[in-house]
């Protein structure tokens, strides 16, 4: 009897559900946007400055400039990092999104696979001055190989080794390390009396991936084979991960507490003289905010086996950065292209990258003296000579989650005094690989 009474309710639900699912998702795959509203644009910017408000202050005047040039009014929304990917996913799913948006360059292939972003074919590239204006490594991080890029490089970043000059001097280290052996030796000299050699962000999945990826390259290992299948347990990959965790487990130059760092506490440790070295992308502004003078720290390329960074096994940085993409469902296609052209123009590139401490992916803009300071020179050279993009595969997000978590767990083991062995590293990575399989 009760079942009968439930029937009308469930029928109602079913009808409504059918009506809804009939509508399906938002974007139709073939559609290439329109020019229905030629005078407005919505721009989602990622949070590049110290906070959202600061970004608005930086971008606001530039958007006004664009409006004066083209008559197009840009509605800006600066989206904090924790929300950005979810907001993009939501926009992708619904087809209701901004016209132009920032994406982390490691997401390029994943987002490319959704089909929600405008492909940058020759015609679109021509509209912003051609591919050749951009540095080749930066272009490599804009989507899967062999496909039209899903985005255009906007800000580029690479890793460098920052060191505390005073602490090095006190420990009698005359020359900043160029190889990992030298780094460990220097770290051991410094690590005493509550001070430590190197800082790490053990709880930050993405950072773990960045470090392991580079060390993997130096061991001749890629985390994916040519067919795009996970190859996490190859000898090279295991050795790379072990080498990174061993800085804490075996060499004891990373403080155990760094295992739970996930919000860039290692930078403050560095700025306050608790650690002597840190591997970071562009840390100058943060150091300044924490009261460390530029003359107190030095910067050199991240160590490589030979001591001389280059391609292949001498790679010493992942290619980090932000790309700018156009949402396929845009209502102002021409305007969006104009806006991307504006953002990637030499002048804007110089100004924005200077403000955010990044390196312009636009070659012409790199020649500004701002990118020839002690830190930016290292970052810029690394960008052009010895940086490689993370694997551009649709499953990149899963990769970051699974392997990043494996490294986080290994750091937790090391910090708790559990042994970290080749076997335990391999076991963790094997589990991570299984999680990748659907």
Partner 1 sequence: MADTAARAPRPAVRAPRPPVRGRSRSRRGASPTAPPRSFRWARRIFLTALTGFVLLPVYVMLSSSLKPLRDVSGVFRWLPSELTVRPYLDIWRTVPLAHYFVNSLIVAGSATVCSVVIAVFAAYAVSRYRFRGRRVFTVTVLSTQMFPGILFLLPLFLLYVNIGNATGVALYGSRGGLVLTYLTFSLPFSIWMLTGYFASVPRELDEAAYVDGCGALGALLRVVVPAAVPGIVAVGVYAFMTAWGEVLFASVMTNDTTRTLSVGLQGYATQNDVYWNQVMAASLVVSVPVVAGFLLLQRYLVAGLTAGAVK
Partner 2 sequence: MVRFARLRRAGLPYLLLLPALVVEVLVHLVPMVIGVVMSFRELTQFFLGNWGAAPWKGLGNYRVAVDLNAPVGAALLHSFWVTCVFSVLAVGFCWLLGTAAAVFLQENFRGRGLLRAVFLVPYALPVYAAVITWAFLFQRDSGLVNHVLHDQLHLTGDRPFWLLGDNSFVALLVVAVWKTWPFAFLVVMAALQNIPKDLYEAAALDGAGMLRQLWRITLPSLRPVNQVLVLVLFLWTFNDFNTPYVLFGKAAPEAADLLSVHIYQSSFATWNFGTGSAMSVLLLLFLLVVTAGYLLVTSRGRKYADG
SS3 call for 244: helix
Q: Which does 409 bind (CB under 5 to 8 A by kind): partner 1, partner 2, none?
A: partner 2
Instruction: Find the binder of partner 2 among 12, 136, 288, 311 (CB under 8 A).
Output: 12
Query: Which SS3 state, helix, strand or coil, does residue 392 take?
Result: coil
Region 388-417 residues binding partner 2, contact defined as CB under 8 A: 394, 397-398, 401, 404-405, 408-409, 412, 415-417
Q: What is the DSSP string of 296-355?
A: GEEEEPPP-TTSS--SGGG--EE-EEEEEEEBTT-S-HHHHHHHHHHHTSHHHHHHHHHH
DSSP lists the bridge partners of residue 84 as none
Residue position matching structure tokens 């708790």: 416
Instruction: Using alpha carbons, select from 326, 354, 351 the residue that is nearest to residue 127.
Output: 326
Tell me which residue of 81, 87, 147 sits closest to 113, measured CA to CA. 147
Which residue is it, tokens 């790679």?
315
1 forms part of the interface with partner 1 (CB under 8 A): no
Q: Which of 412, 178, 192 is nearest to 298 (CA)?
A: 178
Contact 136, 358 (CB under 8 A): no
CA dist 108 and 369 (Å) reads 30
264 binds, among partner 1, partner 2, none (CB under 5 to 8 A by kind): partner 1
What's the min distance (Å) between Cβ of 367 and partner 1? 27
Sheet containing strand 40-46, edge to edge, reads: 73-79, 40-46, 100-104, 320-326, 152-157
What is the SS3 assignment for 119? coil
Q: Which does 83 bind (CB under 5 to 8 A by kind): partner 1, partner 2, none?
A: partner 1
Which run of H or of E encompasses 235? Answer: helix 235-249
When CB distances are held under 5 to 8 angstroms depending on the partner's kind, the choice from partner 1, partner 2, none that residue 257 binds is: partner 2
Q: Does 272 bind partner 1 (CB under 8 A)?
A: yes
197 binds partner 2 (CB under 8 A): no
Report the nearest approach of partner 1 to the CB of residue 405 (Å): 19
Nearer to partner 2, 133 or 268 (CB): 268
Residue 416 contact among partner 2, partner 1, none, beta carbon within 5 to 8 Å by kind: partner 2
User: Residue 186 and residue 249: Cα distance in Å, rounded?
Assistant: 16
Using CB under 8 A as the binding rule, whether residue 47 contacts partner 1 is answered as yes
Whole-number Å distance between alpha carbons of 386 and 404: 23
Q: Interface residues for partner 1 in 288-307 (CB under 8 A)?
A: 289-290
Q: How near is the Cβ of 219 to partner 2 at its closest, in Å?
A: 25
State how far the Cα of 271 lies from the Cα of 294, in Å rounded to an integer: 10
Q: Using the rule CB under 8 A, is 228 a contact of partner 2?
A: no
Give the residue, chosen from 12, 52, 136, 347, that forms a contact with partner 1 under the rule CB under 8 A. Answer: 52
What is the C-alpha to C-alpha distance for residues 410 and 424, in angstroms, rounded to an integer?
Answer: 8
**7 is a site residue for partner 2 (CB under 8 A):** no
**Total of chain residues touching partner 1, rule CB under 8 A:** 39
Of 47 and 435, nearer to partner 1 (C-beta) is 47
β-bridge mates for residue 224, sequence order: 230
Q: By CB under 8 A, is residue 51 in contact with partner 1? A: yes
Residue of 37, 40, 264, 405 that binds partner 1 (CB under 8 A): 264
Nearest Cα neighbor of 223 from 80, 11, 432 is 432
310 beta partners: none
Partner that binds at residue 407, options partner 1, partner 2, none, CB closer than 5 to 8 Å by kind? none
> Is residue 426 part of the contact set for partner 2 (CB under 8 A)?
no
- Which of 12, 25, 39, 192 is in the footprint of partner 1 by CB under 8 A? 25
Residue 196 corresponds to which tokens in the numbers above? 């430590």
**Alpha carbon 111 to chain centroid distance?**
14
Is residue 205 at the binding interface for partner 2, with CB under 8 A as the rule?
A: yes
The residue (of 184 and 358) whose beta carbon lies closer to partner 1 is 358
* Residues of this chain that bind partner 1 (CB under 8 A): 2, 5-6, 8-9, 20, 23, 25-26, 47-48, 50-53, 77-83, 86-87, 90, 93-96, 263-265, 267-268, 272, 285-286, 289-290
* Residues of this chain that bind partner 2 (CB under 8 A): 12-14, 16-17, 20-21, 24-29, 86, 89, 92-93, 95, 110-111, 113-116, 203, 205, 255-257, 259-260, 262, 394, 397-398, 401, 404-405, 408-409, 412, 415-417, 431, 434-435, 437-438
């Amino acid at each position: 009897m009760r079942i009968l009474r439930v029937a009308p309710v469930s029928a109602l639900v079913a009808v409504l559900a059918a009506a809804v699912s009939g509508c399906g998702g938002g974007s139709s795959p073939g559609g290439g946007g329109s020019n229905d509203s030629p005078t407005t644009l919505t721009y989602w910017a990622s949070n590049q400055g110290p906070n959202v408000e600061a970004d608005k202050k930086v971008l606001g005047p530039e958007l006004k400039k664009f409006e004066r040039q083209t008559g197009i009014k840009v509605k800006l929304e600066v989206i904090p990092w924790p929300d950005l990917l979810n907001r993009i996913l939501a926009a992708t799913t619904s087809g209701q999104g901004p016209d132009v948006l920032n994406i982390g360059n490691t997401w390029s292939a994943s987002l490319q696979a959704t089909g929600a972003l405008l492909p940058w074919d020759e015609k679109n590239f021509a509209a912003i001055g051609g591919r050749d204006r951009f540095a080749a490594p930066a272009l490599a991080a804009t989507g899967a190989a062999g496909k039209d890029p899903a985005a255009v490089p906007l800000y580029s970043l690479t890793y460098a080794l920052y060191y505390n000059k005073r602490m090095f001097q006190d420990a009698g280290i005359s020359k900043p390390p160029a190889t990992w052996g030298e780094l460990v030796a220097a770290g051991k000299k410094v690590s005493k009396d509550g001070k430590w050699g190197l800082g790490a962000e053990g709880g930050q999945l993405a950072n773990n991936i960045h470090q392991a990826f580079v060390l993997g390259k130096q061991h001749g290992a890629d985390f994916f084979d040519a067919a795009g299948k996970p190859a996490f347990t190859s000898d090279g990959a295991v050795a790379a991960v072990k080498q990174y965790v061993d800085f804490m487990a075996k060499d004891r130059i990373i403080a155990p507490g760094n295992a739970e760092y996930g919000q860039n506490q290692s930078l403050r440790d560095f700025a306050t003289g608790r650690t002597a070295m840190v591997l970071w992308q562009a840390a100058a502004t943060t150091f300044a905010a924490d009261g460390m003078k530029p003359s107190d720290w030095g910067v050199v390329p991240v160590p490589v086996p030979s001591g001389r960074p280059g391609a292949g096994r001498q790679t010493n940085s992942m290619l980090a950065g932000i790309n700018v993409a156009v949402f396929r469902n845009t209502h102002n296609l021409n305007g969006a292209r104009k806006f991307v052209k504006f953002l990637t123009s030499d002048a804007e590139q110089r100004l924005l990258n200077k403000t955010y401490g990044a390196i312009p992916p636009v070659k012409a803009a790199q020649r500004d003296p701002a990118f020839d300071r002690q830190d930016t020179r290292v970052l810029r050279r690394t960008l052009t000579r010895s940086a490689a993009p993370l694997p551009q595969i649709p499953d990149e997000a899963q990769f970051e989650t699974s392997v990043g978590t494996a490294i986080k767990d290994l750091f937790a083991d090391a910090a708790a005094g559990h042994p970290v062995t080749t076997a335990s590293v391999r076991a963790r990575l094997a589990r991570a690989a299984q999680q990748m399989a659907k």
